[in-house]
Amino acid sequence: MPDGRAKTNDEYSCGADFMNALVMFDYDGVIVDSFELFSACFMKACHQNKFYKLNSREKVLALFETNIFEAMLDFGLDENSINRILETFKSDIDAYQNDLRMFDGMPDTLKKISENNKIVIITSNVTGAAKRVLQNNGVSCFEDVLGAEKEKSKVKKIRQTMARYPGLPAYYIGDTKGDMIEGRKAGAITVAALWGWHAVKKLEEGSPDHLVPSPKALLDLLD
């Protein structure tokens, strides 16, 4: 655990029945510090499937200025090729899940947010990978985890999730320009996490509704 103390699942389980808002989180770069591992495994998966145009960390990061899978289509890949890359990526990254760490203070932040809000993860990563890291950290306060194998469009996943909780103000918290664009298209209040993958200048290009510099500031915003 980031604070050095083991915690049980009960400590990070969902909170009260009365909920103020729906709070949807990106996973990579918001909850876990994962860019180095993600980029290395993603480039490897692309190369194993004979797609060599992604050959630097910078090119991987640039994919997230929009939806990553739409960006790959723009590179000339078809959906079957993207699915094969995703399957290879899942196999590669599974071996390293125990090495990933959550950002400092994030488990407690998630637990506190869940006490008065419904929280869901919506990610371009694979569902199983995210669930495993959450489980390793004793975090069980999410209503659902929606990964890329369930639906590649975050816009669709955000809208589907909002439809499950009608009447609740809906936030999407991400760390890339693409997150801000998709969250806005879906009709959510967009929150840019400044501790993630894209720098503030790039995030501002996505016109976020809020910029938060830390998990503590996120708590303050939602309060």
Q: What is the pLDDT of residue 223?
A: 77
d(CA 68, CA 172): 17
Query: What is the pTM for the complete model shown?
Result: 0.88
Whole-number Cα distances in Å, 48 to 9, 40, 84, 148: 38, 12, 10, 19
How many CB atoms sit inside 10 A of residue 78's CB?
Answer: 9
The listed CATH number (3.40.50.1000, 3.40.50.920, 3.40.50.1820, 1.10.10.10) that belongs to domain 9-33+102-222: 3.40.50.1000
Residue 95 pLDDT? 83
What lies within 8 Å, CB to CB, of 52 at 6+ separation is: 46
pLDDT of residue 11: 38
Q: What is the pLDDT of residue 49?
A: 96
Please report, in tens digits, the pLDDT of each residue of the chain (223 residues total). Answer: 333 333 333 333 444 455 699 999 999 999 999 999 999 999 999 999 999 999 999 999 999 999 999 999 999 999 999 999 999 998 888 888 788 899 999 999 999 999 999 999 999 998 988 998 999 889 999 999 999 999 999 999 999 999 999 999 999 999 999 999 999 999 999 999 999 999 999 999 999 999 999 999 999 998 7
pLDDT at 18: 56
- Complete DSSP assignment for 105-162: THHHHHHHHHTTEEEEEE-SS-HHHHHHHHHHTT-B--SEEE-TTT-S-HHHHHHHHH
